[in-house]
Amino acid sequence: MEHSDDLLFLINVAMLVIGHELDAIHKAEWRFFFAATALSNEQAYRLFAALHVPLVLLILWNLHSWHFQIGFDLFLIVHAGLHWFLRKHPLVNFNNWFSWLWIYGGALLGAVHLVRLFAA
C-alpha cells in the first residue's frame, strides 16, 4: 500500500472517530441507541462514551490490516446509508452540513480508499 493510501485511511478513521463521534456526543446520539432501555440519560451517555474506548483500541490495533481497512471502509459506506435511512427519526439529529460532512464525507473517502486498495 502506498503512503497516500495510508494517509487516506487515517483521514477516514479521524472523520469517524473524531469528527462524527464528537458530533454524536453533541447530538446526544446515545438517546437513539439506548431509547429502549431503562438507563437514565446520564447513564446512557456514560455507557455510550465508555464503549468508544474499546472501539478506538480495536481500530488502532488494526490500522495496518488490509482486511480491517476494507471492513472499515465498507462500514463507513453502510453507516452513511443507515444515517440516510434514519434521517427523519426524531432521536437522530444529524441534520446539518457539519454532521453530513463527517458522515457522508467519510463514506465518500471510504469508497475512494476501497477503489485505491483494489486498484493497487
Q: What is the pLDDT of residue 99?
A: 97
Q: Is it the case that residue 28 has pLDDT exceeding 90? A: yes
Q: Percent of the chain beyond pLDDT 70?
A: 98
Helix axes 97-119, 3-14, angle to 10 degrees: 150
Q: What is the pLDDT of residue 1?
A: 53
Tell me if 116 sits within 8 A of 12, measured CB to CB: no
Measured distance between the N- and C-terminal CA atoms of the chain, rounded to whole angstroms: 7
Tell me if 9 sits within 8 A of 59, measured CB to CB: no
Nearest to 62 by CA among 98, 10, 5, 114: 10
Residue 34 has what DSSP assignment? T
Averaged pLDDT for residues 112-120 = 92
pLDDT band per the 50, 70, 90 thresholds, residue 2: low
pTM of the entire structure? 0.91
